[in-house]
Amino acid sequence: MRALLLDYNERRPRVGEMAEPPDGEVRLRIMECGTCGTDRDLAAFAFGAPPAGESSLILGHEAVAEVASSSVPGMPKGTLVVPAVRRACGGPCSSCARGRRDLCVTGSYRERGILGLHGYCAEWAVDRAEDLFVVPADLAEFAVLVEPMSVVEKACDVAVRLHPEEPAHLLVLGAGAVGILAAWAGVRRGWRVTVVSREPEDGPRARLLRSGGVRYQNALPGMEADLVVEACGSAALAAAAVACLKPLGVMVVLGARNETVRLPFLDLIVGNRTITGSVNAGPEHFRQAIDTLAVVDPSWLRPMIERRPLDRALESFSAPANDAIKVVHALH
Ligand code: BGC
């Protein structure tokens, strides 16, 4: 079968042939697979690993598939599904044991298409039913956004739990796919949302966000927010945005890198402010993501996706990044 591979011998991504996976509980016909910053980091060998004993990793962790065959009740042939990314560690781990692999405490979890397990940017895959989320057929067009949206739903969930009152204003840092999805998740929750990012204030991303009632600007100063979701990769911007947190405010960091920054600890203390990290998503976040994508205006989602044949997959890894918000590869 054809697949998008990360070749650890040649140290480069390539489209190549791989053996089809052996049969398992649910056989999946992969329809589409999205790419993201994690895939670009993998292609730069910043982290990740192929399955033990193999020299290539099938990339892709944002997938939509159709059940090709299964013996599982409730998952007949043709069911549309989105797989979870993370698989449980070998334990002992209280989080993995209760189905919250996203909170794994041993760190020895594996992730499809990222760490130790093949991903989904291939024609076929096999999974267990417990790792799959059923998506209504009428959400097929946007189902490829479920996985990144699940990360956002978890971030919002974490933020709300940590904020002692009803938050009203969400500030999102970054206008990539995760930032824009965070904006839509915030709008859906009834929050006022502002996105700060470096893309031009009269550019397509700014216009898309404004069409959904979101404020967009290039600079932080003067901003006050109850919640901040960092989705820009910049520790410097995240640190600067601490000054925007109102008392009781919560910042959830999703993508910032290790960098030396100055943090105003005294302001955190006297304002009861919180900075926390969040990664991956739990089952309830996948379900929330499906619900959110089903109710937000399709005109906010449609312009986010650019579909390409697998032959053009390598373009997604070449710099400079093009303007597509979410590049999606069609497998079937
Ligand atoms: C994925 C997460 C994953 C993380 C780290 C992200 O791109 O959306 O599910 O846990 O990368 O590997």
Kindly state if the Cβ of 254 falls inside 6 Å of ligand 1: no
Q: What is the DSSP letter of 296?
A: S
The residue whose CA is least distant from atom 6 of ligand 1 is: 38
Q: Is the pLDDT of residue 318 over 90?
A: no
Q: Is 273 helix (H, G, I), strand (E, B) or coil?
A: coil
Amino acid at 225: A
Residue 122 per-residue DSSP state: B
Q: What is the mean pLDDT of residues 29-41?
A: 96
Query: Residue 193: which of 178, 218, 165, 212 has the closest Cα?
Result: 212
Cα–ligand 1 centroid distance for 324 (angstroms): 20
Please tell me the residue having the least CA distance from ligand 1 atom 10. Answer: 280
User: For residue 320, what pLDDT is reported?
Assistant: 56
**Tokens (6 digits) for 277:** 């990290």
Which is more confident, 322 or 29?
29
Q: Which atom of ligand 1 is nearest to the CA of 148?
A: 8
Average pLDDT of every residue of the chain: 96
Place of tokens 């100063």: 221
For the residues 10-32, what does the mean pLDDT come to? 97
One-letter amino acid at 288 equals Q
For residues 118 and 269, what is the distance between their CA atoms, to the nearest angstrom?
44
Q: Classify residue 105 by its DSSP letter.
A: S
What are the tokens at 91? Answer: 């334990």
What percent of the chain stands above pLDDT 70? 98
The rounded Å distance from CA 103 to ligand 1 centre is: 12
Which pLDDT does position 321 carry in this prediction?
Answer: 59
How much is the pLDDT for 323? Answer: 80
Residue 39, pLDDT above cutoff 80: yes
At residue 249 the predicted structure's pLDDT band, cuts being 50, 70 and 90, is very high
Nearest C-alpha to atom 12 of ligand 1 is from which residue? Answer: 114
pLDDT per residue as tens digits for the range 123-166: 999 999 999 999 999 999 999 999 999 999 999 999 999 999 99
The answer to whether 238 touches 251, Cβ cutoff 8 Å, is yes
What spacing in Å lies between the alpha carbon of 224 and ligand 1's midpoint? 29
Inform me whether the pLDDT recorded for 317 exceeds 80: no
Which atom of ligand 1 is nearest to 39's Cα?
Answer: 7
Model pLDDT for residues 251-293, shown as the tens digit of each residue: 999 999 999 999 999 999 999 999 999 999 999 999 999 999 9
Nearest-CA residue for ligand 1 atom 2 is: 280
Do 42 and 59 form a contact (C-beta atoms < 8 A)?
yes
63, with CB counted inside 10 A (0-12, 13-18, 19+), is buried
| Cβ of 280 less than 6 Å from ligand 1 | yes
Q: Which of 6, 114, 146 to mutate to test the pocket of ligand 1 (most atoms within 8 A of CB)?
A: 114
CB 239 within 8 A of CB 262: yes
Confidence class for position 319, pLDDT limits 50, 70, 90? low
* Residue having the nearest C-alpha atom to atom 11 of ligand 1: 38
**Which ligand 1 atom sits nearest the alpha carbon of residue 85?**
9
Residue 316 has a pLDDT of 81
85 pocket-lining for ligand 1 (C-beta < 6 Å):
yes
Residue 11: pLDDT over 90? yes
294 and 139 Cβ atoms separated by less than 8 Å: yes
Residue ranges of domains in the chain, CATH in brackets: 2-134+297-330 (3.90.180.10), 149-277 (3.40.50.720)
* Sequence letter at residue 159: A
Both structure tokens of 113: 């298409």
pLDDT of residue 315: 87
Interval 176-195: pLDDT, tens = 999 999 999 999 999 999 99
In the reported structure, the alpha carbon of residue 38 is separated from the centroid of ligand 1 by a whole-number distance in angstroms of: 7
Tokens of 67: 């059940």
Atom of ligand 1 nearest to the CA of 38: 7
Which numbered atom of ligand 1 lies nearest the CA of 147?
A: 8
**For the chain, what percentages of helix, strand and coil (3-state, to nearest 5) are there?**
30, 30, 40
